[in-house]
Amino acid sequence: MPTTVERIHALMQRGRGPLWCFGFVVGLATGLGALAFAKLHRYWVATYWRRKVLRRAPRRRPTEEPGSDFKPIELKRSGSIVPGIEGLIGNTPLMRIASLSDLTGCEILGKAEYLNPGGSPKDRVALQIINEAEYNGLLVPNTGSWIFEGTVGSTGISLATLAKAKGYNCCIIVPDDVAEEKAMLLRSLGAVVQAVRPRGIVDPRHFVNEARARAQAWTPSENQPYARAFFADQFETEANFDAHYQNTGPEIWRQTGGRVDAFVSGAGTGGTLAGVSAYLKGVADPAAGPPPLTVAADPLGSGVYNRIHFGVMYNATEAEGTRRRHQVDTVVEGIGLNRLTHNLELGLDYIDTAIRVTDDEAVRMSRWLAAHDGLFLGSSSAVHCVAAVRTALRLKKQAPHPEDRPVVVTILADSGARHLSKFQNDAIMEARGLSVVDDISDILQETQELDQHPSSL
């Protein structure tokens, strides 16, 4: 059998050499061109999303000085009558957590998002999703239309709260190990609740995929021909990011008078962390000092910490490369991710670092806050507060003057009233080997330096 070289030599002998050379050059150019285009396309896509976020950024630092065109958000609860339950959403108080502030020598401020009518920051997201769907003609009120969503509770409660008020039906798919009081509340709000076994996101029976499939399979009845089915898609819709970029972030900036040294939040869908971080980074005046440090608070079983520090969305509780395990190794509900959602991706360039929080630390922090501040909070809020304390201590150590009091803002996302059957149940926590004493002395001893995300250096 002739070799490749012998075949080329034979072609040359028959006078086909120039044709072969031409074909070879064309093929080589095509291959190299395709490779270059693929790399250029990846660059274009990354640049597109970066510019899309930057286009949302304010052009100047907002001030309230004479002659400034900055107009702060109008308080909806400033003595006027609000338009229904949606008028109660947002403009939540920013409170000083006294015990943690005094112990750290910093100002640790909690934005009381659990005071939204649905009990969490997801009210903002649900309202934004529904409003955008109505604007785009995907939902029409009072036609018998249905909103479908897969959630561990909070977003479903927010959607159910707004659905009936705005003229929709609501179907919520939840994992069957969610706190029972959440499922009871959903049913009380008129939602149809269906529980499925917890599975990995790649499984078509995962609660999010199940909700999407049911929305796609739904058909209107003859009596309601104009009804529609809408999948809220909280993890991927940009309405989630926008709700916090356009509202939560500006509220925090206004409430602190523009003085924020650090912002701490977990990532359940990534919308709060990404949206607020992007806004605070964009609004800060470089001439006034470094922009706020943005910190992801990550519970056990989540891969966000590794994604921020090492660029890999992976947790040791998962089998390598399969991503099929659900989070059975944490008592925390509402935050933690094992996949890169679109909402989190929008804010990755604005998140500086991450702090991992154990279940034991979260439980003890929740008991401390109840005993010393009268704050009866849920699991995600407790994780946020642990990370806020560690961030505050490290910033205090780095402060140029001993009397400086860095300002750390975090999100109080959930009330303990929704965690009575699990996280706030001492017997259940002790059965899992967790301490329920109000002791955070080990957390207060945290003084190591902040590990910075490479993009922030």
Catalytic machinery residues = 122, 380
Residue 15 has which token pair? 């006078």
What is the helix, strand, coil percentage profile of the chain, to 5?
45, 10, 40
- Of 169, 150, 108, 348, the closest CA to residue 234 belongs to 150
**C-beta separation of 125 from 275 below 8 A:** no
- Of 395, 389, 399, the closest CA to residue 442 belongs to 389
| Sequence letter at residue 238 | E
**C-beta separation of 334 from 153 below 8 A:** yes
| Residue 170 host element (H or E) | strand 169-175
Measured between alpha carbons, how far is 174 from 165 in angstroms, rounded to an integer?
A: 22
Euclidean distance between the first and the last CA atom of the chain, given in angstroms as a whole number = 60
110: which strand partners? 95, 410
Instruction: Give buried/exposed letters for 176-198 (b at 16+ CB in 10 A, else e).
Output: eebbeebbebbeebebebbebeb
The DSSP symbol for 152 reads S
Measured between alpha carbons, how far is 39 from 44 in angstroms, rounded to an integer?
A: 9
**C-beta separation of 446 from 390 below 8 A:** yes
Neighbours of 297 (CB within 10 A): 32
**C-beta separation of 346 from 49 below 8 A:** yes
Measured between alpha carbons, how far is 23 from 352 in angstroms, rounded to an integer?
A: 51
- Of 265, 282, 278, 264, the closest CA to residue 407 belongs to 264
Measured between alpha carbons, how far is 149 from 211 in angstroms, rounded to an integer?
A: 5
**C-beta separation of 442 from 389 below 8 A:** no
E strands, 205-338, are 229-231, 262-265, 293-299
Sign of CA dihedral 424, 425, 426, 430: negative
Locate tokens 């008028």: which residue?
87
**C-beta separation of 175 from 197 below 8 A:** yes
**C-beta separation of 380 from 434 below 8 A:** no
